[in-house]
Amino acid sequence: MSAHLVTTEAKARLCPRCAEPILVGVSQGLTVRVDPYPLAAELEVVAIIAGREVYSLHARMLVRRLGNSAVSGPLLVSHRCGHILRVPPPPAKPDCFVPPF
């Protein structure tokens, strides 16, 4: 079996440099490290502008997205220590809203 363009299942690990959780796998013959936080589809272009590669998690394997890729699955971006692209959760709504007047 040839080692060219091999893709393996992604495994959860901790980054050896920053100790953040990451997913590590081989995608098309290259070892890939991504942040495990799914990215909203509309933020994919932000990640690309920031110089990050974007992958889809499909059948537990990381598939690199190129252009308008039709591969389904959560979008994950390449890991960069200290630069986690994470969408903050929406603000919590109070149980009852009291107007300030």
pLDDT in tens, 36-66: 999 888 888 888 888 999 999 989 999 998 7
Q: How many domains does the chain have?
A: 1
> For residue 45, is it within any domain?
yes
Distance CA 24, CA 33 (A): 5
> For residue 88, is it within any domain?
no
pLDDT at 69 over 60: yes
Q: What is the mean pLDDT of the chain?
A: 83
Q: Is the pTM of this model over 0.85?
A: no
What's the rounded mean pLDDT across residues 72-100? 73
Domain residues for 36? Answer: 11-77
Amino acid at 31: T
% of the chain beyond a pLDDT of 70: 76
> For residue 1, is it within any domain?
no
Determine how many CB atoms are found less than 10 A away from the CB of residue 55.
26
